[in-house]
């Protein structure tokens, strides 16, 4: 009897298992799972009366009511029905599976998660603002955490209620992959809000600086884009209402109309269509009026199927008109038209893809949802390029106008100059020759006062300076001294190393003297191996101190080719009624005395 009862129970359990298995496909997950599109493994049931509970839909009697999705996403459309989605997961590994379920584009009135793991049932309800500790909302995506024990099966029911268009495309991510997905969403939202804000403040500054109404209309357009992206992507916040997605969903159509309104205002001003396309004036006025009416209509009607189709139709007409006038302006070669044409083409393409996804004509993909964001960024960049191109063209045009004015002025002045040139031709020629001669004289004077090797004064310049000092001394009775310097063994250096090395030594020693004499002293090359230093307002005793200082510097200096070198110094001071010959004779006598006393010495007479 016991065995018969056991067989009956096992048969019943087997029948229940087979029934559940046939009703719902089970897919496997483990710790290596990266990303799974749950729609392909899900089934849907629509509750038209909105009165079934989880206890009702989880019964076996409802298995036939659930239909498999078998696609990347499920477009439910505009309906007041309650949608039930279910799927089953099995953790076939020996490790705990931790992951998150993403519900993207979550404009819903309410959402509930029912997770059954064995006999355990966890229920999580989300309000329109998604205020729940069990879930996380990032922009327009809801992330629901889920954990499954090893070898455990979990059946998930998702109950969704929406007043607007609803597309269900849940994705399952591992914990690591979910973090990467959240980082991507954060980066996208940050890039959107950052680009819009930077361009907004930059163009506000441009308007205040240039007082150009194009920048004002562009600022209004950026403001409309900021709020439109806010209600569509969320920026991680809800910019209009703390009540969450419902209010922002309803206001999105009005913001779309406001964006079209500001885009037409900017295009009309930027392309100066009053001048280049006057016949378009009435059409612009009609579209501006219709966009204002559409904004009010969308705000009143909210997110309904009718309002969405009206907005789509009006957007199509508006974008076609904007593209047409931009192409016409490009044909007229109006500056910036090419960038404006690309801007409206990119935004129109992004809006078209977004509307096709919302209306269910295209399956949901991650890149499709973000495509509109990239289209908006491209649109902003192209309009910025258009404004920059306009500024560059205006600057170029101003330069051309100034150039033309200069050319006219030059032509007027040319006739006057021709009359003057006829009378003053000879005079100008003479003045030109005088200037050339004066320039050549200055150039010759410059080269005639410097020694080619040492680049200090030559003997002619030294004689000029010495003559001036003699005249001043006789007139004002003040003293000055001279120092005659001779490099010891200069002939031996030239014979041993060559004249090029000798010239190098002369140059190095001249540089040494120049760095260590007073700014009012004058130094120059007196002969082949001799220097002369003229020291104004210095008696012979103080000149000896200068010479001894220079002698020690020479002893310590390392010359490039020969290493060490020495020099002998002859010092003498000015005496009354001295001539150039007298003072130089005493200087040479002092130098001779230093040479005869063993060189590398300082002697004074």
- Taking the CA of residue 531 as centre, how many other CA atoms within 13 Å lie in the half-sphere pointing to its CB? 31
Helix, strand, or coil here: 24? coil
Q: Residue 236: pLDDT above 60? A: no
**CA-based nearest residue to 369, from 129, 140, 27:** 140
CA angle 416, 420, 424 (to 5 degrees): 165
Selected residue with higher pLDDT from 22 and 319? 319
Distances from the Cα of 363 to the Cα of 101, 109, 194, angstroms: 18, 22, 30
Please give the model's pTM, rounded to 2 decimal places.
0.57
**CA-based nearest residue to 591, from 477, 498, 484:** 484
Per DSSP, 38 falls in state G
415: tokens are 């006739």
What does the alpha-carbon distance between residue 599 and residue 592 come to, in Å, rounded to a whole number? 9
Taking residues 367-395, report their average pLDDT: 86
495: tokens are 């014979």
Which region holds residue 336: left if phi is over 0, alpha if psi is between -120 and 50, else beta?
Answer: left
Q: Residue 61: pLDDT above 80? A: yes
Cα-Cα-Cα-Cα dihedral sign, residues 503, 505, 509, 514: positive
Q: Within its chain, how far is the Cα of 494 from the centroid?
A: 64
What would the 3-class secondary structure string for 29-89 be?
Answer: ECCCCCEEEHHHHCEEEEECCCCCCHHHHCCHHHCCCCEECCCCCEEEEECCCEEEEEEEE
pLDDT of residue 165: 66
What does the alpha-carbon distance between residue 380 and residue 385 come to, in Å, rounded to a whole number? 9
Taking residues 74-92, report their average pLDDT: 84
H helix intervals, 449-479: 459-476
What does the alpha-carbon distance between residue 101 and residue 310 come to, in Å, rounded to a whole number? 34
H helix intervals, 332-365: 337-358
pLDDT by residue (tens digit) across 450-496?
888 888 999 999 999 999 999 998 888 889 999 999 999 888 889 88
469: tokens are 């000092």
pLDDT of residue 62: 85
Q: Report CA dihedral (314, 226, 356, 377) to the nearest 10 degrees.
A: 110
Task: Tell me if 562 sits within 8 A of 506, measured CB to CB.
Answer: no
Q: Residue 323: pLDDT above 60? A: yes
pLDDT of residue 142: 81
Q: Which residues does residue 158 pair with via DSSP β-bridges, in sequence order? A: 85, 113
Selected residue with higher pLDDT from 266 and 256? 266
CA angle 88, 90, 94 (to 5 degrees): 165
- pLDDT band of residue 263 (cuts 50, 70, 90) is very high
pLDDT by residue (tens digit) across 289-307?
988 888 887 777 766 667 7
What does the alpha-carbon distance between residue 216 and residue 220 come to, in Å, rounded to a whole number? 6
- pLDDT band of residue 189 (cuts 50, 70, 90) is confident
pLDDT by residue (tens digit) across 113-168?
999 998 899 998 876 544 444 444 545 678 889 999 999 999 999 998 876 667 78
Q: Which residues does residue 29 pair with via DSSP β-bridges, in sequence order? A: 91
39 Cβ contact list (under 8 Å, min separation 6)? 69, 70, 71, 72, 73, 74, 168, 169, 170
Per DSSP, 293 falls in state H
pLDDT by residue (tens digit) across 552-591?
999 999 998 888 999 999 999 998 888 999 999 999 999 9
CA angle 130, 135, 137 (to 5 degrees): 55
63 Cβ contact list (under 8 Å, min separation 6)? 19, 22, 23, 24
* Residue whose tokens read 């907005």: 311
Taking residues 368-391, report their average pLDDT: 88
Helix, strand, or coil here: 378? helix
pLDDT of residue 243: 46
Q: Which of 318-322, 436-440, 497-501, 594-598 has the lowest mean pLDDT?
A: 436-440
Taking residues 190-215, report their average pLDDT: 88
- pLDDT band of residue 327 (cuts 50, 70, 90) is very high
Per DSSP, 278 falls in state G
Task: Tell me if 522 sits within 8 A of 531, measured CB to CB.
Answer: no
pLDDT of residue 107: 60
pLDDT of residue 242: 42
Share of the chain above pLDDT 70, in %: 83
**CA-based nearest residue to 46, from 88, 23, 80, 87:** 80
Taking residues 275-282, report their average pLDDT: 83
Classify strands 35-37 and 82-91 as parallel, antiparallel or unpaired: unpaired
Cα-Cα-Cα-Cα dihedral sign, residues 340, 344, 345, 346: positive
Helix, strand, or coil here: 454? coil
> Mind giving me the DSSP string for 542-561?
HHHHHHHHHHHHHHH--BTT
What does the alpha-carbon distance between residue 364 and residue 371 come to, in Å, rounded to a whole number? 11
- pLDDT band of residue 3 (cuts 50, 70, 90) is very low
- pLDDT band of residue 449 (cuts 50, 70, 90) is confident
**CA-based nearest residue to 317, from 260, 373, 355, 371:** 260
- Size of the chain, expressed as the number of residues it contains: 605
Q: Residue 362: pLDDT above 80? A: no
Taking residues 340-355, report their average pLDDT: 89
pLDDT of residue 132: 41
Radius of gyration of the chain (CA): 48
Q: Residue 429: pLDDT above 80? A: no
Residue 117 main-chain phi, psi, to 5 deg: -125, 100
Q: Which of 188-192, 347-351, 389-393, 482-486 has the lowest mean pLDDT?
A: 188-192
What does the alpha-carbon distance between residue 334 and residue 328 come to, in Å, rounded to a whole number? 9
Selected residue with higher pLDDT from 250 and 104? 104
- pLDDT band of residue 257 (cuts 50, 70, 90) is confident
What does the alpha-carbon distance between residue 89 and residue 485 come to, in Å, rounded to a whole number? 105
pLDDT of residue 506: 92
What does the alpha-carbon distance between residue 498 and residue 500 come to, in Å, rounded to a whole number? 6
Taking residues 84-103, report their average pLDDT: 92
pLDDT of residue 57: 92
Q: Residue 8: pLDDT above 50? A: no
Selected residue with higher pLDDT from 455 and 420? 455
Per DSSP, 80 falls in state S
pLDDT of residue 272: 86
pLDDT of residue 307: 75
Output b/e per residue, 494-527; b: 16+ Cβ within 10 A: beeeeeebbebbbbbbbeebeeebeeebbbbbbe
What does the alpha-carbon distance between residue 122 and residue 113 come to, in Å, rounded to a whole number? 8
What does the alpha-carbon distance between residue 592 and residue 461 come to, in Å, rounded to a whole number? 24
Q: Residue 90: pLDDT above 60? A: yes
The average confidence (pLDDT) of the chain is 82
H helix intervals, 30-70: 54-57
Q: Which of 158-162, 314-318, 319-323, 584-588 has the lowest mean pLDDT?
A: 158-162
Share of the chain above pLDDT 90, in %: 37
């Amino acid at each position: 009897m016991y065995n018969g009862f056991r067989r009956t129970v096992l048969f019943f359990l087997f029948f229940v298992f087979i029934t559940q298995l046939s009703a719902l496909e089970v897919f496997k997950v483990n710790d290596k799972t990266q990303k799974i599109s749950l729609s392909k493994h899900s089934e849907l049931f629509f509750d038209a009366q909105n009165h079934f509970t989880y206890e009702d839909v989880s019964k076996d009697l409802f298995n036939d009511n659930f239909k498999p999705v078998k696609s990347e996403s499920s477009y439910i459309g505009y309906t007041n029905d309650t949608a039930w989605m279910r799927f089953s997961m099995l953790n076939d590994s020996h490790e705990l599976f931790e992951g998150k379920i993403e519900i993207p584009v979550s404009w819903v009135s309410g959402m509930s998660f029912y997770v059954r793991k064995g006999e355990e049932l966890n229920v999580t309800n989300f309000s329109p603002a998604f205020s729940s500790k069990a879930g996380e909302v990032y922009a327009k995506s809801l992330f629901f955490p889920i954990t499954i024990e090893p070898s455990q099966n979990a059946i998930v029911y998702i109950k969704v209620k929406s007043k607007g268009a609803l597309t269900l495309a849940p994705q399952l991510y591992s914990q690591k992959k979910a973090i990467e997905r959240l980082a991507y969403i954060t980066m996208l939202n940050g890039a959107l809000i950052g680009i819009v804000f930077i361009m907004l403040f930059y163009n506000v500054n441009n308007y205040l600086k240039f007082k150009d109404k194009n920048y004002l209309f562009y600022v209004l357009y950026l403001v409309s884009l900021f709020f439109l992206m806010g209600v569509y992507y969320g920026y991680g916040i809800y910019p209009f209402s703390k009540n969450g997605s419902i209010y922002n969903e309803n206001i999105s159509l009005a913001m779309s109309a406001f964006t079209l309104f500001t885009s037409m205002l900017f295009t009309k001003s930027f392309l100066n269509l009053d001048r280049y396309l006057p016949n378009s004036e009435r059409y612009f006025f009609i579209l501006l009026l219709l966009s204002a009416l559409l904004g009010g209509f969308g705000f009143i009607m909210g997110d309904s199927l009718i309002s969405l189709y009206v907005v789509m139709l009006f957007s199509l007409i508006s974008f076609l008109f904007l593209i047409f006038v931009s192409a016409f302006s490009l044909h007229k070669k109006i500056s910036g038209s090419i960038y404006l044409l690309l801007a409206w083409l990119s935004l129109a393409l992004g809006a078209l893809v977004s509307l096709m996804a919302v209306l269910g004509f295209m399956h949901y993909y991650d890149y499709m949802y973000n495509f509109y964001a990239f289209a908006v960024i491209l649109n902003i960049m192209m309009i910025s390029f258009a404004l920059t191109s306009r500024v560059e063209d205006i600057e170029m045009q101003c330069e051309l106008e100034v150039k033309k004015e200069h050319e006219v002025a030059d032509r007027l002045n040319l006739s006057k100059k021709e009359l003057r040139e006829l009378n003053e031709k000879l005079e100008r020629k003479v003045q030109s020759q005088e200037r050339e001669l004066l320039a050549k004289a200055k150039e010759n004077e410059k080269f005639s006062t410097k020694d080619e090797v040492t680049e200090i004064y030559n003997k002619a310049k030294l004689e000029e300076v010495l003559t001036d000092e003699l005249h001043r001394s006789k007139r004002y009775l003040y003293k000055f001294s001279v120092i005659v310097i001779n490099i010891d063994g200069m002939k031996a250096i030239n014979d041993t190393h060559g004249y090029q090395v000798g010239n190098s030594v002369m140059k190095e020693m001249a540089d040494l003297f120049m760095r260590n004499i007073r700014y009012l002293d004058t130094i120059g090359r007196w002969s082949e191996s001799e220097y002369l230093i003229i020291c104004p307002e210095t008696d012979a005793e103080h000149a000896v101190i200068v010479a001894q200082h220079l002698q020690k510097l020479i002893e310590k200096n390392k010359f490039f080719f020969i290493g060490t070198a020495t020099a002998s110094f002859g010092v003498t001071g000015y005496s009354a009624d001295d001539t150039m010959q007298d003072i130089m004779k005493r200087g040479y006598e002092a130098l001779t005395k230093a040479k005869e006393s063993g060189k590398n010495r300082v002697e004074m007479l």
